[in-house]
């Protein structure tokens, strides 16, 4: 379950990096914002008297995903694209600050936003036992959804004309322009897609833990970023593998050393650093060529 969410966040990072060579750190807070928008939608719907769980869930998702897609496009259009020719560092700081602004806005303007908010449990919680293994129905649904979404996105990128355009821009923006691809639209599209994924991941995270707070995204975002880099930036499959790897590392360190379970993040990050020593450009490495 954790792996799916990590992978979805990582795919977002890797998409942005692919088209613009930009690390978009506001991604994490877009995720939080998505979860909060759906929470607002839920409140609105229950106030309007709509109770049917799946209709509610569907509308919540639509609200969160559409809202975040729009937000992603705004970020790209007004904050990231104008800095295209600035040093990468400036862009990085810019996205970090946008993230901070979003996070603070949620904390300040959502009623009692500095406390954790309870997220409605809309999925059935029936538990199944297989021997020692305990599986809840909502976990299964979430994992299946996550996988389906990831497969859909990869089909979209690899099989459609629009996906072809995205890959073209990712390979070489200038050449893609010459071939008649509208560069800016593609960038906006990718930001919309990535942010929609983030919103979905945020809602899934909320449904799983039944709790969200303004800083939910921060941790997920950093882990997602690590997963994307470990997989090899710009490579979707790498990001997916990286996401699952990170979850695996966390779980393994708990299983292997139960007495030191508090150190699970320490071990996971140490393992990541070690991995980077062995494979300096990620598991599925970028093709690096030196131009002198």
Contact residues toward other proteins (CB under 8 A) are 17, 23, 79, 82-83, 86-90, 92-94, 96-98, 100-101, 104-105, 108, 222, 225-226, 229-230, 233, 262-263, 265-266, 269-270, 272-274, 276-277, 280-282, 290, 292
Shortest distance (Å) from residue 225 CB to other proteins? 7
Q: Which is nearer to other proteins, 183 or 214 (CB)?
A: 214
Q: Which is nearer to other proteins, 64 or 242 (CB)?
A: 242
Q: Which is nearer to other proteins, 237 or 269 (CB)?
A: 269
- Phi then psi dihedrals of residue 156, to 5 deg: -60, -45
Shortest distance (Å) from residue 110 CB to other proteins? 13
Shortest distance (Å) from residue 223 CB to other proteins? 9
Q: Which is nearer to other proteins, 21 or 122 (CB)?
A: 21
Q: Which is nearer to other proteins, 59 or 222 (CB)?
A: 222
Shortest distance (Å) from residue 108 CB to other proteins? 6
Which H, E and C letters describe 118-140, residue by residue?
Answer: ECCCCCCCCEEEECCEEEEHHHH
246 contacts 268 by C-beta, under 8 angstroms:
yes
Shortest distance (Å) from residue 48 CB to other proteins? 31
Shortest distance (Å) from residue 27 CB to other proteins? 14
Q: Which is nearer to other proteins, 132 or 289 (CB)?
A: 289
Q: Which is nearer to other proteins, 49 or 280 (CB)?
A: 280
Shortest distance (Å) from residue 144 CB to other proteins? 30
56 contacts 223 by C-beta, under 8 angstroms:
no
């Amino acid at each position: 379950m954790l792996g799916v969410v990590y992978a979805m966040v990582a795919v977002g990072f890797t998409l942005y990096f692919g088209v613009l060579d930009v690390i978009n750190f506001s991604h994490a807070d877009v995720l939080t914002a998505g979860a909060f928008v759906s929470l607002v939608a839920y409140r609105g719907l229950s106030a309007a008297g709509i109770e049917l769980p799946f209709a509610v869930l569907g509308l919540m998702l639509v609200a969160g995903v559409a809202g975040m897609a729009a937000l992603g496009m705004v970020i790209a259009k007004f904050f990231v694209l104008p800095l295209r020719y600035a040093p990468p560092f400036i862009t990085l700081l810019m996205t970090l600050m946008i993230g901070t602004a979003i996070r603070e806005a949620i904390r300040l303007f959502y009623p009692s936003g500095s406390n954790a908010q309870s997220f409605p449990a809309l999925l059935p919680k029936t538990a199944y036992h297989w021997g020692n293994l305990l599986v809840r129905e909502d976990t299964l649904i979430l994992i299946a959804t996550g996988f389906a979404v990831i497969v859909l996105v990869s089909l979209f990128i690899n099989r459609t004309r629009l996906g072809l355009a995205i890959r073209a821009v990712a390979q070489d923006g200038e050449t893609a322009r010459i071939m008649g691809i509208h560069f800016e639209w593609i960038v906006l599209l990718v930001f919309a897609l990535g942010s929609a994924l983030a919103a979905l991941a945020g809602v899934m995270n909320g449904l799983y833990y039944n709790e969200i707070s303004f800083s939910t995204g921060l941790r997920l975002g950093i882990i997602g970023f690590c997963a994307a880099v470990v997989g090899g930036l710009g490579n979707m499959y790498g990001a997916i593998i990286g996401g699952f790897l990170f979850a695996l590392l966390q779980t393994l360190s708990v299983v292997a050393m139960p007495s030191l379970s508090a150190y699970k993040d320490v071990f996971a990050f140490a393992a990541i650093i070690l991995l980077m020593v062995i494979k300096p450009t990620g598991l599925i490495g970028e093709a690096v060529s030196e131009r002198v």
